[in-house]
Every structure is written in C-alpha cells, then in structure tokens.
Chain A
Amino acid sequence: MIETFGIKLICSKNSCLSPVVCLVVSVSCRLCLVVSCRLCLSPVCLLSSVCLLLSVCLLSSVCLLSSVSVPSTGEVVFCSASTVLKYTQDDLSQRGVFGVLLCTNFRVSFVSDEAPTEEMGQLFKNKLYGENDIPLSCVDNIYGGSEDKRKLITGGLVKNKYPSKMIIHCKDLRVFQFSLSFSKEEDAKKIFQGIVHHCLEPKSLRCLFAFSYCENTSYPEAQRKKQTVMFDSVEDWTQDMKRTKGNCRVVSENSNFELSPKLPQYFIVPKNVSDEDLTKYQGKGLPMWCWSHHSGCALFKTASIPLVQEDNVPQTYMEKMLTAVAHNHLYSVKTEDLSDTLPTVQDILLSYNRFKQFFLIDNTTEFWMSDMKWFSSLDNCGWLDIIRQCLQKAVEVVESLEKENTNVLIMEEGGSDLCCVVSSLVQLMLDPYYRTLLGFQSLVQKEWVAGGHAFLDRSNHLHLKDKVESQSPVFLLFLECVWQLQQQHGPAFQFSETYLTVLSDSIHVPVFTTFLFNNDGHRDSLLRAESPHTQRSPLNCPTVWDWSVQFDCKAQDLFTNPLYTEKPKQDTSVRKSYRPRHLRQLSLPSSAFKTPPKKGFFKDEADNLKKILGVKRLSRWMLSPSSDSPQTSSSVREFYEAWQTKPLDYHGLLLPCLDGPSIRVWMQRYLRWIHDVQILGGGPVAMLSKVSEILGEVQELQRQLDRHGCTLTSNHKGARPRAKTAAAVIAARSSVRLSSSFPFVTSRNWSFKPAIPTSLLQSLMVTGMAGNLADREDDGGPESLV
C-alpha cells in the first residue's frame, strides 16, 4: 500500500530549478518522505526542513492511525524501486523475497512486500535501522553481478548502465544480494545509480546523516552527562588524575582552541612543562599524561617529532620534555616508539581487508570451500598476529609500570593511533575501573575521543579520494584486543561480548558525534557551524554512549556480563594483603617502606620511596628498546609466568595469555550473519542463560530473606545483587531455541536441517598426504579378511 501526496517545490540547489516532487510514502508501516529532483538526483538538503514541516502536517493523521515507528527524523528518501528481489543468503537456489529498495540520506533500505514476521527477533532491535537496512557509511563494497561474474563498482562510471544483480558488502559483515531484473528499467537504473552515488562518491561532512538527524531530534543533555565521564571539562581531567593520585598539571588554556586546534581542549602534562613548551612543534613531542600507577609512576603518550640530523633544536626540546616526564629525575623513563615496533596503519588495513573476506560469504558453496582452508588462511592474513603484537606491547608497558616502576612515554607519528591502542589496553589491564561499563566508556572518551584519534579519516565515511590512504580500522583493532582480554578473563569485565560487537557496529552509524570527527577542535567548529541557533550552544548530537538511541532498556541488559563479580567491599584487614605483592616487586630493601596511612588501590607514595627511586637515573634516553626485542619478549614471558602463578584477582592486574591457541577469532562479530555456522541451541548464550537463571533465583531468594527481615551472615555479600541481567530475556528454557548468533540473529523457525558440508570431501588430499597409509588395511595382518 503506497499512498502518495504530491507537493510541488522548486529545487534550488545545483541551480537546475526544476520542480521537485515530494512524495510521502507509507510502505507497510514505514513513513518516509521522498524527495527527488528529477534532473540532478542530488540530495536536497536545503529543502529537507521545509519538506519536513509540510510532511509533518500531512502525516500527522496517518501517524495517529497506524501507530508506527517513524524512522529516524530528518530522513529523506532519494530514490526507490519496487519489485526488487532480495536473495536469501544461505543458498544458491536464487530464492528470495520481493520488496521495495529505497535509498535515503541515512540508509539503503529494503522493505519486504511480505508481512513482517514479528517474532522474538524484535527483542534486540536496533531503533535506528533494521535487519534490512544498511546505513550509508556502513556500506563497504558494492558489486555488480550478471550471471556468474561479479565486478567491483567503484563509483563514477555507472552512467546509463546497471547490473541485474547488486551485491552489497557491509562493514558490519552483512552481505545483501538484490536482483534488479524484475523492476522497471528506469527505477532499477535510478536506484542503482542512487545507491552507488550516495555510498561511494565523495561527500562533505555536513551531508552525513547526523546533522539532519540532530536538527530534528532533541536529546535531554542531562540524561547522558550523569553517566560516562566525557573528558570535555577541566573537572573530568582533574578528577581522573586525583583518582589515580597523579601529580601533573591540567592545561585548560586551549579550552577555546587558542593554543592550537589540533591540541585537545583539555589535557594533562608533566608539572615542569612550561607554557611556551606547549605550543612548540604544534603539540608534537608534548608528553600527554594517560594514567598514573599507584607507585607514582605514570604513562604518557606523545606524537613524535621527526628528528633531523643537523637540527639540534627538536632534540633539545625532546630532552627537556623527557626530563619533565622523569619528574626531575625522580623516576626513570622508558620511551617506546611504536612506529618502529608495531605494524603501521596501512599494514593494519591490509591485514584486516584480507581477514574480513573470510566472512563476507555470498553462498553456501563458497562457505564450505573456504572452510577447508580456514586455519591456513587465518595465519596468512596476519590479523590475529597484529592483535597479539598490540597486546604484547601493552604487556611490556605494564611490566615497566608495575614491576620496574618507571615512567613510560609511548610515541608514534601523530600520537593518536597505536598510542591510543596501547595506552588504553595498559589501563584496562592495570585498572579495574576501566573494566566496568561506564569506566570503559570513559576510557574511550579519554584516550580516543579527547585523545584526538582521527575517527573521520580512519573510517573515511566521506569517501574522499585523498583520505583513502589514511583509512584504517584502528579502533576496531582495539576492540579486538579488548575482546581477547575479555575472553580470557570473563568475570573481570562488567560489559559483555555483545556490547563490544554493538560498539564495533556503531562506528559505522553516522549519527553519533563520537566517531565523526578527527579531534576536539574539528568537532567543536563543525557542531558550532551547524547549529541552528548560531549564536548559542553548538548542535546537540547524541554520542554513541546514549544507547537508548539504538536500543531499548531490555536490549541494553544484554550489554552486561552476568558473571561479572563486583569488587567486594573489603575491610582494611583484607586490603592489606594486596600490599606485600606490590612491594616485593620493587626489588628494593623492604625496610625502606612504611605502610602509608591512606588505603586505596592508588596509594600515596611515601616520600622516602620517591627519594630511593630517584637514585635510579634515567635509564633509556631516546633509545628504542626494539633493538633487543628477543630479550623483551622473553622478559614479557617471565613477567606473565610470574603473574600466572599468583592467585588471580579479577580486580587487580590482568594479563592476557599470548600463546598461539589463546588468540582467537571473535566469533560473535564475524560469524553472526553466516547462516551455515549458526549453532542452533548452542553457543555461549546457552551458558549465559543458565547463569542468568541462577542469578535470578539468587535474587529472588534474597528478596524472600529480606522479607523475613534477615540478612545473610556469610561472607558472600560480594555476590549480592549484581547488575541486573537479561534473565527474563534469555531464560534457560528458551536457550534451546537460541543460536550461537544470539542476539543478532534469531532463528525464524525451529524445524531446521543440519548444515552438512557440501564441499568435496578431501579424499584426494588425504591420499596425497598420507601416501600408502590410506590404502592400508585397518588390521595389517594377513588374517584381516576371513
């Protein structure tokens, strides 16, 4: 049922001045505003608000009638085509469903002609886009196909031609295949060109959906502010430094970007850095404080200054900075140039591009073919090895902080890619606060958003030709590393695997300010410029941490890990037992220490400790330890082994095991859409649902006890009401009906056939490998056959 209302407007853009038809379409409970300029096919941004006003008047009646969920406000349909066939992914039979394919300023959307089957799948519904929607910036590659061939579409050269089949690979690893051969030729051409145009052609930042979305949506600011520490004020930084007992200087001189638009709005530097030091070399070489260890040493990161041989000035500056980091020789300093020891952003991109291909599966046959080469392919693409290297580097830094108590300065060109990866991993390993959900979000705000990671360039949402080089999934790499840690030490993390997967998807939803800009200055200038009320506050856009934009409360329950153990409230006697462990590692005469009067994870250092440590002079000036890497890795090994023999404290230091079998593939993220590898009735969810059930029972029992006015006397208070869980959502009884892809895909019906490999069984290969063995009788003896 399609209802149309025609309104004539004039297209003022591109000066084609042709009449624009504005259509209000209501397609099976979806309301959209179709605006298309017949001649120029261009997004009619300027008109959108006008149209919107009109449409609101027109639609209000319809809305009331059908009580539908209006798709995101500010959305404008560019073009559409009906009777498009969407193939079911899991077989070669060319079956599928017919429907309407739309391209809007937010997404490519397929609306099935069939009545939607409302099932439990709705439970984890994303409010912004559904299972058949692809946000424009989530489109990775588009292929045109005819018959058996398929060709990568690069944009530009699609005038007048369109393929019969369109394959879309998404950045969240979904694969869509559409057949255009049943649509009207003109529609098919238009939709193909429209999608290619809007997904692949360069565009300006303000064309991203966030801006039209935010103009039309208002968010109660208070709602988010109370939770995640955003690190957009002096207070946030000061508080974090206080929390870790750091002793540095908060710089607020750049709050209006007077010093440099490239420097963060607020940041922390060593005490001895003077005002004029701040702006030399555009912030390059300036050590930025990340985190302080309870022993007093701290982690800093910086963008390295390219050192020119003849020029002594940067050298002197660098030395001055290092002295500042060393806190006037109170601490020794280790520097680590990550550019030398870790893969470059280009390496990361190359490796990831190879890796992701294993999961962008078009059909069953292809899947089973690639299944044979799976393990070798994994090694060849090197993605897991890059993850291992990052984790290893983080462990090295942790060792310096925890065992040697030296200050560490990590640097790389730019200072906001691998520096962010390593520094945030170090903090996750050392500081249990960052393993809570809010703590983790604050960490991302601190290290990545305020830390100036160039999200926009790295994701290249705008498809700018000159930015192709700088594209790289660095943030995803970080999430991968976090996932590895979380796999190995599940109960230490408050957030779940699902949370990380959803976060990795959200990078490609161009609604959240978190991932749209290159740095603070960039964000500030754009949000100000785009604000409808020019003189007042900047445009108020949601951040990714406003999870209610995407998911309702029930779905958000799945973000928490039911096995998380909250830090038990310890009395002082228990806490003392922490102490000897740390002190012993300082390799100093234990008589030098007196137990400081204050208790806490980050304790005040006693003055005499400082003095003793000060004896150790700066050990490694400007020397990259990469030269002795074999030694480093064996020292890391020892460090890990020493840690491993101690009892595990989920609220203390956590180290990842880096051996071959321990670094795994993030199954949930990568395999969730592939029908053939869904384990029906199995997967981790089967376990989690059992845990949730027991937790629910424990809580119920506790309520009963409370009613009886009796408190539990045992020591199990630590386990008392943990985070609310998804108990109601995934009760154990239903777990039999869930699959390993939960919650992303829910099985439509339970009558399923098992996936049976279709590939040629490798009899050829076996005989080739084992030679005569395969032909031998099972029982070599002559009596083997009676």
Chain B
Amino acid sequence: MEKQLFGGVAGGDSTAQPVVPNRNKPRTLATSGSKQDSVETLDSPTGSHVEWCKQLIAATISCQISSVPADTASGDCKPPRDGTKQVQTDEVPLVPGETIKAVAKDVMYICPFTGLVTGTLTSTNYKLYFISLERDTPFILDVNLGAISRLETISVQSHGENTRGMEIVCKDMRSPRFAYKEDASQPEIVEVLAKHAFPLSNDLPLFAFLYKEEFPVDGWKVYDPMAEYKRQGLPNESWTISKMNSSYEVCDTYPALVVIPTSIKDDHLKGVVAFRARHRIPVLSWIHPESQATIVRSSQPLVGPSDRRCKEDERYLQTIMDANAQSHKLTIFDARQSSVADNNKAKDGGYESESFYPNVELNFLEIPNIHVMRESLRKLKEVVYPSIDEAHWHSAVDQTHWLEYIRLLLAGAVRIADKLESGKTSVMVHCSDGWDRTAQLTSLAMLMLDSHYRTLRGFQVLLEKEWISFGHKFAARVGHGDENHANSERSPLFIQFIDCVWQMNRQFPAAFEFNELFLITILDHLYSCLFGTFLYDSEQERIAKEVQTKTVSLWSYINSQPEDFTNPFYVDYEHQVLYPLASVRHLELWTGYYVRWNPRMRPQMPVHQNLKELLFLRAELQRKVDELEREASSSRGSLSSSSEHTSSPSHSGGTPLHTIV
C-alpha cells in the first residue's frame, strides 16, 4: 500500500488514490473510485494526479492529510501522520517538534491560477499553512518557511480598507500572495512569519534542531569516507588516505580525510598548502579502476601578477601525473572563463602556466560565475511564474540562458570524463576556490564514469562526498534562516547541478536507479531546514554544531521508503560510461520542477504508472507460479519442469517495487 504523504506544496487533497492499485481495484484507474468525480479544485492535484503529486511534492513528513479509506490504509511504513485525521476540519497537521505560532482567519489567497480563495492561515515554526473549506474540496497551500526568500507587503486596495497584502517570495520558483484584514488584537502575521522564516537573524535555532522524527534507517551512516575510498581501490601504492587534516588545521573547508599521493613528504606539502587558495590543495576525488587515471580537485594556485612559482606545487602535480602509468600528461580544467582567470591573476590568484609545469595541458571551460547563474535563475522565474507565454515560450527560455549554462556544465564534464576514459589521462579540476563549479564538474564527471553513483545509495554518497564534505558553502549559497535575501553569496549552483542530473536522467531514462521525485525531494529539502544534511558550509562547522547527533539526515527519510524514489525503468548499465549530449536540442527545461506550481502543467498520469502496474502484475504472477511450484514439488518430489522455472524471470525481481504492495 502506498503511503499518502503530501506536503510542502500548493494543494493537498482529500481523495488520495493509491499509486499501485491494490488487488480489489480494476486496472483502469479511471473507473475506480467514484469519489474523484466530486473533486473540482483546479489548484490541487486530485484523483489520479496523485502519482504526479508524489513526483512533485517532495515532502512527506511535513504534513499530511489524507482521508484514506480505512481498508486501504496500512501501517507497513511509518508515515508521520495520523491516518484517521479528517480533512474537513481546518486542523493543521504537524510534524514532531513543530508548534503553531500564529493563526489568522479570513485570509484571502490570491491564487494566480484559480482566483481568490478565503481561508485560515497558520504559521508554525516550520511552515506556512493555508486551508480553505469554501470549495467542494479543501484547498490547501503549504510553504516551508525555509523556502522563503523574502516577505513583502503589497498593495491590495481593491480588497477594501484595512486590508493588507503580503507577497511571499520563495526560493522554489513561486510567490504566493495573500490579503488579510488588520487586527490590532493580534500580532501581525507577517512578523511572526518573518521571525520563524529567518531564525538565524532572530536568534532562534534552525528547525532541523527541533525536529523530532525518528526513522528506522540512520542516514548519517550512508557516507563513510573510508568505505567509499576502499570501494575505489584506495589506498594503493601511489595514493594514500591522509589524516593530516583530521583537526581541520591544514584546511578548514576540507574534510578530515583526504587522498594525496603517497610519496609526498609533510614539509613538501606545506609549500603546496601555502600556494593554493584557501589551502585547498589538489586531492583525489576519483580513480579509474582500470587505467588508474584520476580526477583531482583543488583551488586556484596563487600565482599573482608576478607569475610566482612554487617548486613544491610543480613537483606535486608531477607526482599526480606519475601515479598514472598510462599517460605522461596531466590535463587541468579551469572551469572559469579565461578572462576572469586573468582578472584573478591580477588579484593574486591565477592559473598554472604550461611553461612552468611540464607536460601539463590547461583548458578553460568558460563557465560564468555564481552571480551570472543567480541572475539567470531570477529571469527564469519570471518566465515560468505565474503564467506562461505560449507563443514565445522558447525564446523566453532562451533569453534566460539557463539551459545554455546547463549545456556548458555538461559539455565540460563530458570533456573531463572523456579525458579519463579515452585519453587515460589524469585530470585536475579547479575554479577559484574549488567549491562551486569544481564540485559541479567533478561530481558530474563521476556520475558519467562510475555507475555506482547512479544508484540511489551511490548518489547520496556522491553528494555527501563531493559537495558536503568538500565544503560547498550550502549555508551561504542558500542562505538558510537568514533574512538578507540580497546577499550576493547566494546562488543556485546546487540546483544547477541537480538540473544537469535530471537532464542526464532524461537522456538515459533507464540508467539511473533514482527517479525525478528523488531529485525534487533533494531540492525541496535543500531549503526546508527540516533535515541537517545541507546545513552549514563545511565539515568542521557541522562537527562543531553537532549536526549528526542533533538533527535528522535527509537520507534517513529517503532510505526508509526507497521504493518511492526508485526508477522502475532502471537497468544496470554496469561499467558503461554515459556521455550525455551537450546539445541544446536535447536539453529541456525541467518543467516538473520549475513549472510545477502551474496546475495545467501537471501530467495526469505518468508513464511510470503503467509500468508499476505491470511490475505489480509480474510480482503477482511470480508469486502464483512459486506457490504452485512449491505445491507441486512437495507433493510429487522433483519435477521435470523445474529446470524451466530456474530460467524463468524470477531472478530479475530485484526491483524494490514489489515491496510496496
């Protein structure tokens, strides 16, 4: 039985329908459940849209209401909800640790799709919850406070005097607007919202530290650096797992464990540390199991306008090159635009000179910086929310350049992967600091090269390793709990990366074990502050704040119900390298994420639905066959037909979908 967990989005609904039909239901969903006929609310996904909801709504925990018929509700999983709760009340569903902070009645939601709706607005310390019972079916809008970028008052004079308007500008591509009457007896709802939406600016803890849910799986155990390096075949004779940064003294933004060349002496290392920006020395990210070619990441060298040299750094790179016997070259990919790299050089940064580093080839990938990306996403929001210009859709998307940057990233990562795979050459990647574009490129290249990262667990490891442990500044880039929305440190670099993964997923629909919902869930909880996974800028900070003991990991939730996030089409491509096509012709705007608030863009029933039914049918048949098999063998002993059964497709039942039913 499917879980009925919804939250974090506009629209809930009372008539949730199981995704995988249970045995009492006809196959065609359309003919089942006359209940749905009564559902008219356009802004809320209903009936057979549920699968879509699941695809779209990343959430779960935050809330949920579903009047699941008693016979279909089962308790095999641990839904954090009260299954008997009736939607017809305007009770706010709460997650453990969540408390209501303010309630405002007779608030109008100015829905850009279906017009005005009047209802009750509740602010908790985790979410904003709006429910209206004036339509046939309850209308629910649910926004995680963590997703709020800024709160603005707007003019709503048309709705009468004493009416105030508020616009909630969100990081997740929507901006719901409300109008409400002033009420002197109560604290202004906007202020309560602001206080809890930006806890760090108001000396409050992030909600992740208050969240008290317990999951059967501990997500903090997903990433064990030692185990991951061991999987890659490390340490080996050329590479060693070093504890030199175990107290984060060498580099405060690097993890405690890093992989460096074995032959490097400590005093030698000091020179390299001093020569690399923020002490982010070249360390190994991935090693090719056959050719021993490696992906190495670092920050820019501090060359400066006077072309400083560093003998230790030059020797260090030579050692990296020598660790790979297949090639006598090392390729450096500088993610920046060459003009920007030159500017950096004038300001004491720079790039490796091919004349000082023998056998080194330097390439610029010409990827613009975080500010350009932020601007691009801002423009994209204007294109997709609230309404879409039909006739000029493609040119409007074109003008945001968003897909072009996606293309640049993919093309860069393909070049890196190809260098390793066909050129058998080791590659070093850096940008300025080595925590933004570098993380994007190395993780994408690793995703192309190593099929392990294309599994549900493997992808979690990839994120934990390349992004979280290597110090992508999540707190600064997302601005968790911080009211300073204009901070120029904010930038959607991680979203861009997930978008690239989605594009790959689309080009290779069978190569990834996880599905679109998984990616959307990750992005929703990037903002939600419900889990500790994406909080803070570095491993050091996370240790200091005791994130692992005081918060829950996103992977705890995901891995407790992996079937929801599994791609039913998954086929293990084994050691196949995947080269996505970095052509705009094969890129598409991720409407399932960026345009998901528009009810017209919701698919009614995705293709997956059909396949899931098929998988269900297969499981059912398999069970039947096994049963008969057992009966037959117990009554008659060994059968001549048993050989046929061993060759039957039972072995391929590896997909966890079976467990749903």
Which of A's residues lie within 8 Å of B, judged by CB?
A: 367-368, 371-372, 374-376, 378-380, 384-385, 388, 488, 490-491, 563, 565, 568, 570, 574, 577-578, 580-581, 637, 640-642, 644-652, 657-662, 665, 667, 671, 676-684, 686-687, 689-691, 693-698, 700-702, 704-705, 707-708, 710, 712, 714-716, 718-719, 732, 735-736, 740, 752-757, 761-763, 766-767, 769-770, 773-780, 784-786
Contact = CB atoms under 8 A, between A and B. Distances in A.
26 contacts: A379-B392, A379-B393, A379-B395, A580-B37, A637-B600, A641-B599, A649-B30, A659-B393, A676-B583, A677-B581, A681-B576, A683-B509, A686-B511, A687-B509, A694-B615, A697-B649, A715-B26, A752-B579, A761-B365, A766-B372, A767-B339, A774-B337, A776-B369, A776-B488, A778-B370, A786-B279
Contact of B583 (A708, A757, A763): A757
Given A661-B591, A694-B618, A701-B621, A371 B507 contact: no
B325 interface: no
A568 B28 contact: yes
Interface string B463-507: 000000000000000000000000011000000000000000001
B432 A777 contact: yes
Contact of A679 (B24, B32, B394, B586): B586
Contacts of B427: none
Contacts of A785: 277, 302, 344, 347-349
The 7 A-B pairs with the shortest beta carbon distances in the complex, nearest first, are: A660-B393, A649-B30, A754-B579, A697-B649, A375-B398, A701-B621, A682-B508
B414 to A, nearest CB: 5
A734 to B, nearest CB: 10
Contact of B30 (A648, A657, A777, A786): A648
Given A376-B395, A710-B624, A719-B617, A770 B372 contact: yes
Contact of B585 (A577, A671, A695, A777): A671
A780 B407 contact: no
Given A565-B27, A715-B25, A769-B401, A691 B614 contact: yes
Given A660-B391, A779-B433, 18 more contacts: A374-B585, A375-B584, A490-B610, A580-B34, A647-B36, A652-B30, A659-B393, A680-B579, A694-B615, A701-B622, A716-B27, A736-B571, A736-B576, A754-B579, A756-B418, A761-B366, A762-B366, A778-B432
B244 interface: no
A683 B507 contact: yes
B582 interface: yes
Contacts of B40: 642, 645
B366 A686 contact: no
A786 B301 CA distance: 11
B607 A679 contact: no
A757 B621 contact: no
B416 to A, nearest CB: 11
B628 interface: yes
B624 A773 contact: no
Contacts of A367: 583
A712 B579 contact: no
Contacts of A761: 365-366, 408
B404 interface: yes
Contacts of A697: 618, 648-649, 652
Interface stretch (B42-50, B166-174, B557-565): B42-50
Contacts of A646: 36-37, 47
B624 A705 contact: yes
Contacts of B580: 679, 682
Contacts of B337: 763, 766-767, 774
A705 B418 contact: no
Nearest to A380: B395
Nearest to B487: A780
A678 B586 CA distance: 9
Nearest to A651: B28
Contact of A774 (B348, B369, B591, B649): B369
B580 to A, nearest CB: 7
Contact of B601 (A661, A715, A775): A661
Contact of A681 (B278, B578, B641): B578
A568 B26 CA distance: 9
B620 to A, nearest CB: 6
B620 A714 contact: yes
Interface of B: 17, 23-34, 36-37, 39-42, 46-49, 277-279, 302, 337-340, 343-344, 347-349, 365-366, 368-372, 375, 388-398, 401, 403-404, 407-408, 411, 414-415, 417-418, 422, 431-433, 436, 488-489, 507-511, 569-571, 573, 576, 578-586, 588-589, 591, 595, 598-605, 607, 610-611, 613-615, 617-618, 620-622, 624-625, 628, 632, 641, 644-645, 648-649, 652
A634 to B, nearest CB: 13
B569 A755 contact: no
Interface centre among A367, A488, A690, A740 (most CB of B within 10 A): A690
A766 to B, nearest CB: 5
Nearest to A648: B604
Given A647-B29, A649-B30, A719-B614, A753 B422 contact: yes
A786 B398 contact: no
Given A491-B610, A577-B34, A647-B47, A704 B644 contact: yes
Contacts of B397: 375
A517 B595 CA distance: 46
B190 to A, nearest CB: 29
Contacts of A777: 344, 347, 369, 432
B586 to A, nearest CB: 6
A643 to B, nearest CB: 9
A570 B432 contact: no
Contacts of A375: 394-395, 397-398, 403, 584
Contact of A770 (B30, B368, B621): B368
Given A661-B601, A757-B411, A577 B614 contact: no
A652 B30 CA distance: 9
B528 to A, nearest CB: 25
Contacts of A374: 398, 584-585
Contact of A657 (B17, B583, B600, B618): B600
Contact of A755 (B278, B570, B582): B582
Contacts of A740: 507, 586
A667 B587 CA distance: 12
B106 to A, nearest CB: 26
Nearest to A652: B30
A64 to B, nearest CB: 42
A682 B48 contact: no
Given A641-B42, A763-B338, A763-B366, A705 B27 contact: no
A687 B606 CA distance: 13
B571 A686 contact: yes
Given A491-B607, A565-B28, A679-B580, A701 B625 contact: yes
B411 A756 contact: yes
Contacts of A715: 23-27
B599 A644 contact: yes
A753 B418 contact: yes
A778 B393 contact: no
Nearest to A719: B617
A346 to B, nearest CB: 20
B510 A690 contact: yes
Contact of A700 (B368, B602, B605, B649): B649
Contact of A766 (B42, B348, B368): B368
B610 A565 contact: yes
A644 B277 contact: no
Contact of A649 (B23, B28, B411, B614): B28
Nearest to A368: B583
A749 to B, nearest CB: 14
A371 B371 contact: no
A780 B488 contact: yes
A649 B370 contact: no
Contacts of B407: 757
A770 B371 contact: yes
Contacts of A661: 388, 393, 588-589, 591, 595, 601
